[in-house]
């Protein structure tokens, strides 16, 4: 082969390699699903993101349709995630622990919002004779089963020298729990925001304790391992849009509350109070967060509320660098 032809062939090869590794070629090789189904509750960054339509705009560029599914609490949402009915979900800190304990669970933690211990409380009616958590001994206390508020209640009881067996738990969804408290059917209610703020403002409830010094109260973004591993760029783009929404909520809580009020039909003053005692800004899972989740898992197993021991670290997903 002549030097001229050899040089020509070499240049052609370099051009092919360059084209194959160019950003445009990389983008074409990235896998994108036809649809992503996100689970959310009637409060928080995801419902704000849903109302803006920004995620739809962003993912439409990749041919990905966005579907939203609302749930009343975290545990049924993660049951749907485990079963493949959802691809991405947000819950409090305890539901992922119960979900991971399910046989063959594919659930993974992909990110968390910062700790917000003030955003949940154990409340009683204004005229209740109860003055502290110790007074709950022998009383009926309502809490959503498998929720972050359940672990919070367990921790509050322990600090007061009580155990789970010292109370009569009444497992009710938030709307039913509020009605039960109003009627006097239960002595107290362990609950998160915005329901917590709504009870304070509309019912004039008293707080026996909030989560400070007892729980972290992280919010977790979760997915299935097969989905996150197959579509890591999609997970990154969803989290990026959540970060943008979080920044807007942090910088303009009044406007965020007013927008939420329109979207979910709750008074803006309630939502503003809830937003101001929550922290925002999703991050990938760090060791201290894993340790906090492991404490929840170990505690629930020790009192026989969790069917088996789990290792939280096994369910943590991290993006490849």
SS (H, E, C) 240-254: HHHHHHHHHHHHCHH
Burial 76-113 (b: 16+ CB within 10 A, else e): bbbbbbbeeebbbbbbbbbbbbbbbbbeebbbbbbbbb
pLDDT of residue 100: 94
Every domain of the chain and the residues it spans: 31-116+219-315, 117-210
Please name the residues in contact with 189: beta carbons below 8 A apart, sequence gap of 6 or more.
122, 123, 124, 141, 142, 143, 177, 178, 180, 181, 199, 205
Return d(Cα 122, Cα 207) in angstroms, integer.
6
- Residue 186, token pair as written in the block: 């239960």
Tokens of 120: 């949940």
Query: Whole-angstrom Cα distance, residue 205 to residue 195?
Result: 11
114, with CB counted inside 10 A (0-12, 13-18, 19+), is: middle
For residues 309, 315, 316 and 321, what is the CA-based torsion angle, rounded to 10 degrees?
140
229: number of Cβ within 10 Å: 13
Rounded to whole angstroms, the Cα distance separating 3 from 207 reads 85
The DSSP bridge partners found for residue 108 are 223
At residue 18, the pLDDT reads: 42
Report pLDDT for 11. Answer: 40
**Residues with Cβ < 8 Å from 36, sequence gap 6 or more?**
59, 64, 65, 66, 67, 87, 88, 234, 238
In terms of Cα–Cα distance, which of 147, 105, 145 is closest to 310? 105
Measure the CA–CA gap between 46 and 36, rounded to whole angstroms. Answer: 14
Q: Inter-axis angle of helices 253-264 and 268-276, to 10 degrees?
A: 130
Contact (Cβ atoms closer than 8 angstroms) between residue 40 and residue 90: yes
Per-residue confidence (pLDDT) for residue 230, from 0 to 100: 96
Phi-psi region of 270 (alpha: psi -120 to 50; beta: other; left: phi over 0): alpha
Q: Residue 6's pLDDT is what?
A: 45
Beta strands in 92-229 (DSSP E): 107-113, 120-124, 140-143, 168-171, 188-192, 206-210, 219-224
CATH class of 117-210: alpha beta
pLDDT at 213: 96
Architecture of domain 31-116+219-315: 3-Layer(aba) Sandwich (3.40)
Confirm whether 31-116+219-315 and 117-210 share one CATH topology. Answer: yes
Tokens encoding 56: 């739809």
Q: Phi and psi at residue 219, in whole multiples of 5°?
A: -105, 135
Would you give per-residue pLDDT tens digits along the chain (321 residues)? Answer: 544 444 444 444 434 334 344 443 334 457 899 999 999 988 889 999 998 899 999 999 999 999 999 998 888 999 999 999 999 999 999 999 999 998 889 999 999 999 999 999 999 999 999 999 999 999 999 999 989 999 999 999 999 999 999 999 999 999 999 999 999 999 999 999 999 999 999 999 999 999 999 999 999 999 999 999 999 999 999 999 999 999 999 999 999 999 999 988 999 999 999 999 999 999 999 999 999 999 999 999 999 999 999 999 999 999 887
Tokens for 45? 């960054």
């Amino acid at each position: 082969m002549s030097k001229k032809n050899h040089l020509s062939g070499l240049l052609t090869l370099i051009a092919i390699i360059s084209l194959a590794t160019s950003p445009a070629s990389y983008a074409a090789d990235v896998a994108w699903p036809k649809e992503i189904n996100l689970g959310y509750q009637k409060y928080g960054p995801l419902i704000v993101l849903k109302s803006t339509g920004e995620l739809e705009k962003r993912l439409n560029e990749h041919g990905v349709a966005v579907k939203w599914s609302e749930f009343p609490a975290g545990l049924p949402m993660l049951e749907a995630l485990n079963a493949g009915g959802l691809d991405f979900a947000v819950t409090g800190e305890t539901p992922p622990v119960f979900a991971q304990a399910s046989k063959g669970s594919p659930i993974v933690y992909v990110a968390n919002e910062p700790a917000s211990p003030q955003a949940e409380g154990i409340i009683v009616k204004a005229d209740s004779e109860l003055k502290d958590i110790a007074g709950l001994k022998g009383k009926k206390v309502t809490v959503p089963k498998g929720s972050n508020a359940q672990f919070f209640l367990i921790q509050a009881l322990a600090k007061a020298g009580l155990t789970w067996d010292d109370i009569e738990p009444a497992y009710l969804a938030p709307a039913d729990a509020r009605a039960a408290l109003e009627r006097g059917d239960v002595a107290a209610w362990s609950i998160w925001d915005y329901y917590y703020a709504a009870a304070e403002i509309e019912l004039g409830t008293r707080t026996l304790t909030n989560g400070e010094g007892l729980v972290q109260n992280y919010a977790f973004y979760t997915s299935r391992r097969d989905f996150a591993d197959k579509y890591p760029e999609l997970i990154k783009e969803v989290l990026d849009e959540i970060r943008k929404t979080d920044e807007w909520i942090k910088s303009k809580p009044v406007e965020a509350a007013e927008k939420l009020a329109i979207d979910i039909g709750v008074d803006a003053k309630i939502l503003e109070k809830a937003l101001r005692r929550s922290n925002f800004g999703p991050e990938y899972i760090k060791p201290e967060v894993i340790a906090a989740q492991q404490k929840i898992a170990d505690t629930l197993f020790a009192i026989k509320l969790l069917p088996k021991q789990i290792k939280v670290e096994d369910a943590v997903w991290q993006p490849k660098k």
